[in-house]
């Protein structure tokens, strides 16, 4: 009771504030998303993601070396498939010599200790821009999950440490885990996008990979039949518990900031590590406001990421990872 309790005592200097700080960001928290394209000597900036790039394989080597030298220990790979390689079945996703499979090998060779995580979903390889196979206007669940399990296996065979299914089909974790076990990849981890919302914040990412749903007849225009309704909270717990039961090692909430109540619900409910994906739209918003001089870039970035951690995330996939690592460097 006041005046015996004065909360400002614990805020009165930087030293005491840091001593009683409940959370702190560290380079150990971050996963760096990487966009990869075919070709050589390519480092092209993504239009709606200032200072974020797509790399060809020759240049990605240097990039992962830099990432590693900053103390960051894991990357999450996305590839931009050539348009002529795309079809409704996402066939190219299973090509043992496909861009993803080559990227995994290239990165593992450049920095053997780095943890390589790979995106598993059909959208970059889909001629219609969906995470699954489309039949009669429907994204078919079980058939898609079979392909995704093959895709996960293919990534594991190429050397991926973790596969990260971002598709939201029902039962895909069980199919993947079973396949990996059967083929002897029992050490391959699964980081499941378990509570992934049908969010408008993914726009810049779809620009980066040219992977948005196409606007043609009999193809759903959005991903609302598989990604979650932003209005729902309890459903996130059921989805996540199901993924853990099916064999996920790490679960994920996505996007970040608008969904921190979900992160906290899960942190209070489950014991496995929770990842948060701070998505492309969140990155773009801050970059745009900072460019206009309306927000202090670094201060807002650190505040947002700290909030994600405080909510209960043990790891964060973020396009700001390198910026933060540079700031945190002693
Ligand atoms: C697709 C995928 C998306 C993201 C990661 N994997 C986009 C989508 O679901 O349409 C979004 C990441 C971001 O916006 O940063 N499987």
Q: In angstroms, rounded to a whole number, what is the distance separating the alpha carbons of residues 112 and 90? A: 29
Q: Which residue has the tokens 């596969």?
A: 163
**pLDDT confidence of residue 164:** 98
DSSP 256: S
Determine the atom of ligand 1 nearest the C-alpha atom of 167.
Answer: 16
Q: Which residue has the tokens 């598709």?
A: 167
Residue 269 C-alpha to ligand 1 middle, in angstroms? Answer: 26
- How much of the chain exceeds pLDDT 90, in percent? 98
Residue 18 C-alpha to ligand 1 middle, in angstroms? Answer: 36
**pLDDT confidence of residue 208:** 92
In 3D, which of 251, 249, 121 has the Cα closest to residue 194?
A: 251
Question: Is pLDDT of 330 > 90?
Answer: no
The average pLDDT across 212-221 equals 93
Contacts of 284 (CB under 8 A, 6+ apart): 48, 49, 50, 203, 204
Q: In angstroms, rounded to a whole number, what is the distance separating the alpha carbons of residues 106 and 101? A: 9
Question: Which residues contact ligand 1 via a Cβ below 6 A?
Answer: 119, 121, 123, 131, 166-167, 202, 205-206, 223, 279-280
Query: How many CA within 13 A on the CB side of residue 192?
Result: 28
In 3D, which of 94, 74, 89, 78 has the Cα closest to residue 32?
A: 74
Task: Write down the mean pLDDT value for the chain.
Answer: 97
179 part of the active site: no
**pLDDT confidence of residue 187:** 98
In 3D, which of 132, 155, 157 has the Cα closest to residue 143?
A: 132
Contacts of 154 (CB under 8 A, 6+ apart): 93, 94, 95, 96, 98, 101
Determine the residue of 79, 100, 120, 131 to mutate for testing ligand 1's pocket, defined as the one with the most ligand atoms within 8 A of the Cβ atom: 131
The average pLDDT across 53-77 equals 98
CA distances from 33 to 36, 117, 177, 220, 242 (A): 10, 9, 23, 27, 26
The average pLDDT across 175-204 equals 98
Q: In angstroms, rounded to a whole number, what is the distance separating the alpha carbons of residues 204 and 322? A: 19
Determine the atom of ligand 1 nearest the C-alpha atom of 204.
Answer: 14
Rounded (5°) CA angle 87-88-89: 95
The average pLDDT across 151-176 equals 98
- How much of the chain exceeds pLDDT 70, in percent? 100
The tens digit of pLDDT for each residue in 282-294 reads 999 999 999 999 9
In 3D, which of 165, 174, 157, 34 has the Cα closest to residue 94?
A: 157
Q: In angstroms, rounded to a whole number, what is the distance separating the alpha carbons of residues 170 and 316? A: 24
Q: In angstroms, rounded to a whole number, what is the distance separating the alpha carbons of residues 37 and 73? A: 22
**pLDDT confidence of residue 54:** 97
224 part of the active site: no
The tens digit of pLDDT for each residue in 299-311 reads 999 999 999 999 9
The tens digit of pLDDT for each residue in 131-153 reads 999 999 999 999 999 999 999 99
With both helix axes pointing from N to C terminus, report the angle between 99-110 and 141-158 in degrees, rounded to the nearest 10: 30
**Please, what are the domains in the chain?**
25-328 (3.20.20.70)
């Amino acid at each position: 009771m006041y005046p015996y309790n004065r909360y400002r005592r614990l805020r009165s200097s930087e030293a005491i504030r840091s001593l009683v700080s409940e959370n702190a960001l560290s380079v150990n928290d971050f996963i760096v998303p990487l966009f990869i394209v075919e070709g050589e000597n390519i480092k092209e900036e993504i239009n709606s993601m200032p200072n974020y790039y797509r790399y060809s394989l020759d240049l990605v080597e240097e990039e992962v070396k830099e990432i590693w030298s900053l103390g960051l220990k894991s990357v999450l790979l996305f590839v931009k498939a050539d348009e002529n390689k795309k079809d409704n079945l996402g066939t190219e996703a299973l090509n043992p010599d496909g861009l993803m499979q080559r990227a995994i090998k290239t990165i593992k060779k450049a920095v053997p200790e780095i943890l390589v995580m790979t995106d598993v979903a059909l959208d970059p390889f889909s001629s219609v821009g969906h995470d699954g196979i489309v039949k009669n206007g429907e994204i078919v669940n079980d058939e898609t999950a079979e392909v995704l399990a093959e895709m996960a296996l293919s990534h594991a065979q190429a050397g991926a440490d973790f596969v990260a299914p971002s598709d939201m089909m029902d039962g895909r974790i069980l199919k993947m885990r079973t396949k990996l076990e059967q083929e002897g990849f029992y050490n391959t981890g699964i980081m499941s996008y378990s509570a992934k919302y049908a969010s408008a914040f993914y726009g810049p990412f779809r620009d980066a990979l040219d992977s948005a749903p196409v606007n043609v007849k009999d193809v759903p225009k959005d991903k609302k039949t598989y990604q979650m309704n932003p209005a729902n909270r309890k459903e996130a717990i059921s989805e996540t518990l199901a993924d853990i039961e099916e064999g996920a090692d790490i679960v994920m909430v996505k996007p970040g900031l608008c969904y921190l109540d979900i992160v906290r619900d899960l942190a209070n409910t489950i014991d496995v590590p929770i990842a948060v994906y701070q998505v492309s739209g969140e990155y773009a918003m801050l970059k745009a406001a900072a460019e206009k001089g309306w927000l202090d870039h670094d201060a807002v970035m650190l505040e947002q990421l700290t909030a994600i951690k405080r909510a209960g995330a043990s790891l964060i996939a973020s396009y700001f990872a390198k910026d933060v690592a540079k700031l945190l460097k002693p």
